[in-house]
Amino acid sequence: MVQHAEDSERQSKTLHRIFVILYLQFAFYWATIAAGMLVNYYYAVPSSLQADFGSILLQFFAAPSLFAHVTFAVLSSGMSIPVIVLARRARLSQVVYLHTGAITARMVGFVTGPLFMYYSTSSVANSELANYSTFIMASVFLTAVILTFMSRIFIVREDVRIKYLVAGPSQPGKQPLAGLGSK
């Protein structure tokens, strides 16, 4: 019984850590969107940009808005890694799959983003493919957001399970499981 309570306590703490990381991830998502809008409205691919990998990579450091957008995109994607580690520890396989899916979606975005720049260079100048690249980038970003949103559903379910089912009948003087409260 004591062992069982300790397991639940540990699980509750792991879930609490996942919640904190998810809050951070959502903040980075929002920052990515805000910086993305800055890029969208105020950044134009310079006509001097060469259509090669090195030049496009260096371009990410040339404009502050672009740098911020990419940095926040990397940070928000990176937040899925600790979530996956913790979810594995908490044996939440759905959360692991959803965040793996989110990272995969973001990887597609990390390809189509530079592709947009490639198609926008003066030597290639294919606005249609540039538009499609942007559209795919934004779509996979949304996919990643939806997947991480969904992951929280399973975390809340687990939280309710350990708080109200594993805890068992209430005993006089006994406190509910520590940790989360209402998430």
Partner 1 sequence: MRPASLEGEEIGNLGLSGLRLTLKLCYVNFVVYLAIYITGMYLNIFVTSGVNTVSIGDTSNIVHMLGATLNFAFTFIVMMVGFIYGMRKVALFSFGAVVSLVVATIGGLLFLATGGGRGSGSLTLVGGWTMSLLFMLALFLSYYATLKIMRAVRILENVPTR
Interacting residue ranges for partner 1, rule: CB under 8 A: 26, 30, 33-34, 37, 40-41, 127, 131, 134-135, 138-139, 142, 146, 149, 152-153, 156-157, 159-161, 163-165, 167-170, 174-177, 181-183
- DSSP notation for 24-51: HHHHHHHHHHHHHHHHHHH----TT--S
Cβ count near 126 (within 10 Å) = 13
The nearest distance, CB 86 to partner 1, in angstroms, is: 18
57 versus 126: smaller Cβ distance to partner 1: 126
Mapped onto helix, strand or coil, the DSSP state of residue 113 is helix
Q: Which is nearer to partner 1, 13 or 183 (CB)?
A: 183
Alpha-carbon distance values, 97 to 34, 72, 73, 82, 147 (Å)? 27, 22, 20, 13, 9
Least CB distance to partner 1 at residue 45 (A)? 12
Q: In whole angstroms, how close is the CB of 116 to partner 1 at the nearest point? A: 10
Distance CA 159, CA 162 (A): 5
Is the CB of 124 or the CB of 146 nearer to partner 1?
146
CB of 82 to partner 1, least distance (A): 20
Task: Please identify, using beta-carbon distances, which residue of 30 and 61 lies nearer to partner 1.
Answer: 30
The pair of structure tokens assigned to 133 is 């690249």
